[in-house]
Structure 1
Amino acid sequence: MRFLSVFCLLVLATSRVSSKPTQEKKGRVHHGKDLSDHQHDDSKDFQYDHEAFLGKEEAKTFDQLTPEESKERLGLIVNKIDADNDSLVTAPELLSWIKHVHGRWVHEDVAKQMQLYDKDRDGHVSWKEYSDQLYSHLIGEEFNDLPDKDTYRNMMKRDERRFKQADKDGDMIATRDEFTAFLHPEEFDYMKDMVITETLEDIDKNGDGFVDVNEYIGDMYSTENDEPEPDWVKTERQQFLDFRDLNKDGKMDRSEISHWIMPPDYDHADVEAKHLIYESDKDKDDKLTKEEILDNWNMFVGSQATNYGEDLTRRHDEF
């Protein structure tokens, strides 16, 4: 099976500054629409909830705090979420906060990338600025013996195609908004077709323009030594038959892929807000007091990454 450890995720997150192509840096774009890269399974850990509630970078900061510090900071956050100051957090208030956190993460990520690629500091990123820095040392004539050269050429072509789609006026110079659409196409309606195209290209291994059930499963799980499929894989196969392949022809076309990765009338932030309230609302009035939130602080900000505070007794250089 293919798993990414916390360490690997940190390496991937920092690899942006080491001039790796977009596909290696970001992973498939359709995952970016979600609120976290972690699986949403509270029976294992609350990492999804932490990143949805705090943002990815802030979640890392909370990982280093003691339980007492986490609760204190959580209390301050609750004060911000309670927009009408009635000492109760409602689903709309929580939804607004989660969307704010996600928007802040996108804004901060774009700011970092602008700083990295806007070499002339004119507030824009041209395709030349981006491609020269990211690909010139990988596909230049002096690197003809590079074993993955063709792969990098293909990645550059894919990036250029996405850049052109994001670049509304066609001058190959991205404004901040256009560069945001390039880096986070899942956030923009006019980039929807590009998200579908890239998803299809990544999963459609036989190149027939569709995704069959084996390709669908192969994107998330690969067997080793002919081991039997775990139950969750069997469940996913049934999910494909019941909910992915809408016209029951044994494969997903572009429309069905769109319905899968960008389902209509489904908002990750809204679902997460209602989930947090449901799991913390002791008196079942569909609202949360600060006490109810602090009583369930593990779900909001606690972290198994630090063994709920026990590992914090170690020095930082021991990790």
Structure 2
Amino acid sequence: MSRLISTHLIAFLACLALVNAAVVHTHGSHSLHKEREEDGAYSPRDKNHIASDEHNAEFDHEAILGSVKTAEEFDHLTKEESIRRLRILLVQMDLNGDGAIDKRELKAWIMRSFKLLSEEEAKERQEDADENEDGKITWEEYITDTYGSDEGDDTLPSYNEQLIADDKVMWDVADTNKDNILEGEEWMAFSHPEENPRMLPTILAQTLKGKDLNHDNAIDFQEYIGERGTEHDKEWLLVEKHKFDHELDSDGDGKLMGAEILSWVVPSNEEIAGEEVDHLFETSDDDQDGILSFDEVVAHHDTFVGSEATDYGDHIHNIHQFTDEL
């Protein structure tokens, strides 16, 4: 009987490992196009900000910890250990040493976290694609990792041809020394073009190429909506029209051009960080004095860093339940 339990337990754990591995790998194996939001936004920060119309708790944790891996580690900690480590972070956040965190300090910390998160993501993508582990990514390695085969392979779906062509344009701009190999800052520019000023003209050009159907170097509302208009109801269209008119079309001429297009497809990390600061203060500033004391943050530690989180706990619970049933 014990041998039977052991066999089934090993199988169960193996399944969990496969699921977790799949989740980890999906991020690194997608092209730039598949990283984009449904509405065209490039920013991975904005992508994770809201989940199912509610604030994403994981986003909060990553915005404070600056690492997906560290956030996952905190999920496995006891409440006491999570709070102990959070207090250490608070001392680092507290730039003026007054024992509290104001909005300016919290925003600076979150902007730092965004940079660290991008570097972590770029490193993971590089490790996925770097077949010979030399710390550099060749075009061939990127194509194989992203699309599953070499460029020009007849087995690739035909719709990938345009995606590969667009990726190559972005690749060539990132490849400053023109050796067709990306490393260091070059790879960072390619994997996170929205965060590199020299990549923005290419993002703008590729957005116009894909959206500007009448070739007037602008995007009107119908072009902005595109095929999404057939997938949503009238209420959604009204919300998008309000966003187009009052948030994106800054000069009110009925179309998006230049910087207006970039403000749409490349959401500002500054704005996202500001929204996150407001959210954390609304959640944790109990006395509403405009600053967060260390005690207030600790009282809401689960909002900032989490602890004893669920995925790991759920797995353990499922294992025990599984063995009990056997």
CA contact (8 A) 1:90 1:288 kept: yes
Is this contact kept in 2: 1:21–1:134, CA < 8 A? yes
Closer/same/farther in 2, CA of residues 167 and 44 from structure 1, 3 Å limit:
closer
Q: 1:178 to 1:41 in 2, by over 3 A?
A: same
In 1, the alpha carbon distance for the partners of 2:194 and 2:98 equals 35
Q: Which residue of the other structure, out of 229, 232, 237, is the alignment partner of 2:234? A: 229
2:26 is aligned, of 15, 25, 33, to: 15
Q: Which residue number corresponds to residue 36 of structure 2?
A: 27
Aligned to 2:8: none
What's the secondary structure of 2:106's corresponding residue?
helix
Which shifted more, 186-195 or 102-111? 102-111
Report the Cα distance in structure 2 between the residues aligned to 1:206 and 1:297, rounded to whole angstroms. 49
- CA–CA separation in structure 2 for the residues paired with 1:176 and 1:114: 10
- The residue number in structure 1 matching 2:194 is 186
User: Residue 129 of structure 1: CA displacement?
Assistant: 3.5
Q: Residue deviations 1:107-166, cap 9 Å, x none?
A: 22222233333445444323244335545726555xx3x4x6222222211111101111
CA RMSD, 1 decimal: 4.0
Deviation string 1:26-66 (CA, Å, 9 cap, x unpaired) is 23584326355231798665444333223444334444556
* Structure 1 residue aligned with 2:250: 246
Q: Which has the larger radius of gyration?
A: 2
1:237-276 alignment, distance < 5 Å: 237-262=241-266, 266-276=270-280
Relative to the length of structure 2, the TM-score reads: 0.72
Question: Alpha-carbon deviations, 1:185-229, whole Å to 9, x = none?
Answer: 111111111222344455x284645433244345767536xxx43
1:293: how far off?
0.9
Give the letter for the 1:229 counterpart.
Answer: K
Q: In the TM superposition, what is the alpha-carbon distance from 1:104 to its structure 2 partner?
A: 1.8
Q: Which structure 2 residues correspond to residues 195-210 of structure 1 after superposition, within 5 A? A: 195-201=203-209, 204=211, 206=213, 208=215, 209-210=217-218
Question: What displacement does 1:87 show?
Answer: 1.8
SS of match in other structure, 2:49: coil
Q: Superposition pairs for residues 1-319 of structure 1, below 5 Å?
A: 13-16=24-27, 19-24=29-34, 26-27=35-36, 30-32=41-43, 34=45, 37-39=48-50, 46-54=57-65, 55-65=67-77, 70-135=82-147, 137=149, 139-141=151-153, 144=154, 146=155, 149-201=157-209, 204=211, 206=213, 208=215, 209-217=217-225, 223=231, 228-230=233-235, 233-262=237-266, 266-302=270-306, 306=310, 314-315=317-318
Identical columns (%):
27
1:5 maps to which residue? none
Rounded to whole Å, the distance in 1 between the matches of 2:170 and 2:68 is 25
Query: Structure 2 CA distance, aligned partners of 1:220 and 1:12?
Result: 27
Note the C-alpha offset of 1:23: 2.5
Q: Distance in 2 between matches of 1:10 and 1:189?
A: 33
Unpaired runs of 5+ residues, structure 2, are 1-18
Aligned residues: 300
Equivalent AA in structure 1 for residue 129 of structure 2: Y
Partner Cα separation in structure 1 for residue 56 and residue 285 of structure 2: 19
* 1:168, distance to aligned residue in structure 2 (A): 1.7
Q: Distance in 2 between matches of 1:101 and 1:169?
A: 29
CA distance in structure 1 between the partners assigned to 2:300 and 2:222 by the alignment: 40
SS in 2 for 1:31: coil
Higher mean displacement: 53-62 or 156-165: 53-62
Q: In structure 2, give the amino acid aligned to 1:78.
A: L
Letter of the 1:166 counterpart: A
**Is the 2:86–2:305 contact (alpha carbons within 8 Å) kept by the matching residues of 1?**
yes
Aligned-partner SS, 1:171:
coil
Per-residue CA distance 1:271-292 (angstroms, 9 max, x = gap): 4234423542233443211111
Q: Is the 8 A contact 2:46 2:267 kept in 1?
A: no
**Maintained 8 Å contact 1:181/1:191:** yes
Distance in structure 2 (CA, Å) of the matches to 1:191 and 1:88: 38
Deviates more, 1:150-159 or 1:79-88: 79-88
In terms of mean alpha carbon deviation, does 110-119 or 160-169 score higher? Answer: 110-119
* Pair 1:13–1:151, CA change in 2 (3 A): farther
Name the SS for the 2:125 alignment partner: helix
TM-score scaled by length of structure 1: 0.74
Q: Which moved more, 1:188-197 or 1:159-168?
A: 188-197
